[in-house]
């Protein structure tokens, strides 16, 4: 058997029988290949695997913020309707395997080992042929398609990684409906410096003649979406949160009316979740028009039972401890709206951790005024993490009470020492550290 060597990835030769940790190490090692927009590489990789994506149907979701929550709503509704549903998402909160799910169950360790071994072999062959090595996201996307095909999924709810037009997920051609969540400024290095340019990239997931469902966007973005839908002869449905009536907000349950639907309930907190749920309702209605059978009971149960950790999630009480993945300007603005709405006259402490390639200074500007005390952390095990001390320096330019700590454990203990039982601790920023933080809080609660 020929030896296949990888210049920057898994350092060793291909062999059968990767163990689970070896499979994880290999897949994670591919991050060395960075981010390379474009579809040529993913097409070669999927082609070598027999193009498993061509045997699947997709709800394809792009957007700057909210696309993960919309994915969660839509996939749960479809599951309640009796369909075998694949979910592909990023980033993950607790476990690498979360990014690839069938029926809300992560890919098995055995399947990940088999898939990683297959990906390793194919990538090595492509390199030997003189092609660039696929990136981590391309490898994960191809592995996901393979797994979904193996599991005979009826439909896959597919979240883009970044952008849309040149995102690896856009190799799919059998999209049932394209979905656009909130579009705002992010990843400008890759997607463009204007909202219109970013919207053009996001709208690149639209497929000729296939329906498009979009959230009501800012005018600059909406114009681009409308033009792309018209160019591709796509029907366009707009979900507008302003059309929601009788909205009742809460940290445990929220309800609203939307169109002909009355008394819809969701279990996710945060003001922004009303618009994400409204978008999911429009997607479900569109799927029905495309031949899917979704009863009223399935839609209601799907919305009500959707879980999506790390998005304005309550993990403890007395004091209230909430985690949220607000990491860019638009998400920070929406987080600030929720803070003002839910916690008026409440003392709030922050735990902040961000990535250095994000617009963290704008996140600070939009949120700092609501905090009594701010604790900064370095997201662990992430080469893109901004050191806690540097984040504290940036915060100190606007807020006088900030402390940098050396670990998440120290951040949790300090926040509990500083907070009274009626106060609120809010941890936010990069999703990459929130999973570990949530486990630390839960462990602390278990000891009580």
Is 2 a domain residue?
A: no
Angle between helices 388-396 and 360-367 (to 10 degrees): 50
| 172 shares its domain with 272 | yes
Give dist(CA 109, CA 96) in Å, integer. 10
| 100 shares its domain with 223 | yes
Evaluate if residue 12 carries a pLDDT over 50: no
In which domain, by residue range, is 55 found?
20-305
pLDDT of residue 2: 33
Q: Quick one: what percent of the chain has pLDDT higher than 70?
A: 96
| 254 shares its domain with 338 | no
pTM of the model: 0.90
The answer to whether 271 and 249 have CB atoms below 8 angstroms apart is yes
Give dist(CA 374, CA 351) in Å, integer. 6
| 231 shares its domain with 325 | no
Is 11 a domain residue?
A: no
Q: How many domains does the chain have?
A: 2
Is 7 a domain residue?
A: no
CATH number of the structural domain spanning residue 378: 3.90.190.20
Domain boundary among 305, 331, 366: 305
Domain boundary among 268, 287, 305: 305
pLDDT band with cut points at 50, 70 and 90 for residue 16? low
| 43 shares its domain with 142 | yes
| 293 shares its domain with 246 | yes
| 293 shares its domain with 377 | no
Q: What angle do CA 38, 43, 49 make, to 5 degrees?
A: 145
| 211 shares its domain with 332 | no
| 432 shares its domain with 353 | yes
Q: Which residue has the tokens 């999703």?
A: 431
Is 6 a domain residue?
A: no
In tens, the pLDDT along 165-211 reads 999 999 999 999 999 999 987 766 778 789 999 999 999 999 999 99
Q: Does residue 356 or residue 396 have the better pLDDT?
A: 396
The answer to whether 319 and 423 have CB atoms below 8 angstroms apart is yes
pLDDT of residue 25: 94
Domain boundary among 305, 333, 358: 305
pLDDT of residue 108: 96
Is 224 a domain residue?
A: yes
Is 10 a domain residue?
A: no
* Helix, strand or coil, per DSSP, at residue 236: strand
Give dist(CA 353, CA 337) in Å, integer. 20
Quick count: other Cβ atoms within 10 Å of Cβ 105? 12
Q: Does residue 241 or residue 446 have the better pLDDT?
A: 241
In tens, the pLDDT along 399-416 reads 999 999 999 999 999 999
């Amino acid at each position: 058997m020929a030896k296949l060597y990888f210049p920057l990835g898994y350092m060793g030769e291909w062999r059968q029988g990767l163990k689970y940790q070896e499979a994880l190490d290999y897949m994670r090692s591919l991050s060395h290949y960075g981010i390379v927009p474009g579809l040529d590489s993913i097409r070669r990789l999927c082609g070598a695997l027999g193009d498993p994506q061509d045997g699947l149907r997709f709800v394809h979701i792009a957007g700057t913020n909210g696309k993960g929550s919309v994915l969660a709503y839509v996939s749960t509704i479809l599951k309640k309707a009796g369909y075998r549903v694949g979910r592909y998402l990023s980033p993950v909160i607790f476990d690498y395997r979360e990014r690839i799910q069938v029926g809300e169950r992560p890919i098995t360790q055995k399947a990940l080992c088999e898939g990683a071994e297959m990906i390793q072999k194919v990538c090595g062959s492509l390199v030997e042929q003189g092609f660039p090595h696929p990136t981590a996201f391309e490898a994960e996307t191809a592995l996901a398609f393979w797994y979904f095909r193996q599991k005979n999924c009826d439909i896959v709810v597919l979240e883009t990684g970044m952008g849309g037009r040149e995102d690896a997920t856009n190799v799919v051609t059998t999209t049932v409906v394209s979905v656009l969540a909130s579009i705002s400024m992010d990843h400008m290095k890759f997607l463009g410096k204007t909202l219109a340019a970013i919207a053009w990239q996001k709208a690149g997931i639209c497929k000729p003649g296939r329906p498009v469902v979009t959230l009501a966007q800012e005018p600059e973005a909406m114009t681009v979406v409308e033009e792309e839908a018209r160019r591709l002869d796509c029907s366009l449905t707009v979900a507008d949160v302003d059309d929601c009536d009788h909205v009742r907000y809460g940290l445990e349950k929220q309800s609203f009316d939307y169109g002909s639907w009355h008394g819809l309930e969701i279990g996710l907190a945060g003001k922004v979740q009303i618009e994400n749920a409204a978008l999911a309702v429009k997607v479900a209605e569109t799927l029905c028009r495309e031949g899917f059978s979704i009863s009223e009971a399935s839609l209601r149960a799907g919305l009500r039972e959707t879980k999506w950790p790390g998005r304005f999630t309550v993990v403890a009480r007395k004091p209230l401890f909430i985690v949220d993945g607000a990491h860019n300007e638009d998400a920070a603005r929406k987080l600030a709206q929720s803070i003002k709405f839910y916690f008026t006259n409440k003392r709030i402490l922050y735990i902040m951790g961000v990535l250095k390639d994000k617009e963290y200074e704008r996140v600070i500007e939009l949120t700092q005024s609501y905090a009594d005390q701010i604790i900064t952390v370095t997201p662990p095990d992430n080469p893109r993490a901004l050191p806690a001390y540097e984040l504290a320096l940036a915060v100190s330019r606007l807020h006088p009470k900030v402390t940098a700590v050396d670990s998440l454990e120290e951040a949790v203990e300090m926040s509990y020492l500083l907070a009274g039982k009626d106060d609120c601790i809010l941890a936010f920023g990069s999703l990459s550290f929130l999973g570990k933080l949530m486990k630390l809080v839960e462990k602390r609660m278990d000891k009580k």
